[in-house]
Amino acid sequence: MQKLFLILALSFATIFTLTRCGFDCVDKKTGMHKSSQTMEEAQKKELFKFEFIADKTTFQLDSGLIFNIKKAWVESSWSYECIDNRAEVVKDSSYQFVIDADYNGNIINSNYWLENNHLGAVLSFDYTGQDTIQLVLYKRSSYTLIEDKMKVNTIDFIRRKVSR
């Protein structure tokens, strides 16, 4: 009985050790494009390039929904790649504009979009070097073949100048 327990324990330990190495790669979904959740995370991963400031940061939408822009920045586009059984950040040669926002209200069932990103999803956009980015906040009132969008507001993001 003791020998069987020892064999089972060693087998379990071996399987756990062999499979544990790849869990980090599976858990972080290697190969998929990512964006940082916060500006601090982008800085920590050495992805951060510079910050943008929004001309308007809080939007009262219908049904009590509030959309609040906390931070906006540009970072290197990146993904996790599996290197030696560990998920490592690998930068791309392009850049992305990322918005950290929070919401008050039921954002999942809302019809609000910032350009092509649904509010509540990751707000990440391609970045091509401009100092001002203008994004349209709109409400989609229909999901038919003919898209029915109503412009709610326009948000201007201006690259923050840092004096040295």
The dihedral built from the CA positions of residue 112, 117, 120 and 125, taken in this order, carries a sign that is: negative
Minimum mean pLDDT range among 7-11, 51-55, 74-78: 7-11
Instruction: Delimit the domains of the chain by residue range.
Output: 2-159
Residue-wise pLDDT for 18-44, tens only, equals: 455 467 677 777 778 899 999 999 999
Q: Sorting pLDDT into bands at 50, 70 and 90, what band is 1?
A: low
Neighbours of 107 (CB within 10 A): 18
pTM of model > 0.95 = no
- Mean pLDDT (the chain) is 85
CB 74 within 8 A of CB 42: no
All residues at 6 or more sequence positions from 102 whose CB lies less than 8 Å from its CB, including other chains: 68, 70
User: What does the pLDDT average to over 122-140?
Assistant: 94
37: alpha, beta or left? (left if phi > 0; alpha if psi -120 to 50) = alpha
Q: Sorting pLDDT into bands at 50, 70 and 90, what band is 12?
A: low
Give the closest residue to 25 by CA, choosing from 111, 68, 88. Answer: 88
Residue-wise pLDDT for 95-106, tens only, equals: 999 999 998 887
Q: Is the pLDDT of residue 134 over 60?
A: yes
pLDDT of residue 18: 46
Q: What proportion of the chain, given as a percentage, has pLDDT over 90?
A: 54
Q: Is the pLDDT of residue 163 over 90?
A: no
The DSSP-derived string for 63-74 is: GG-EEEEEEEEE
Point out which residues pair with 24 in neighbouring strands.
Answer: none
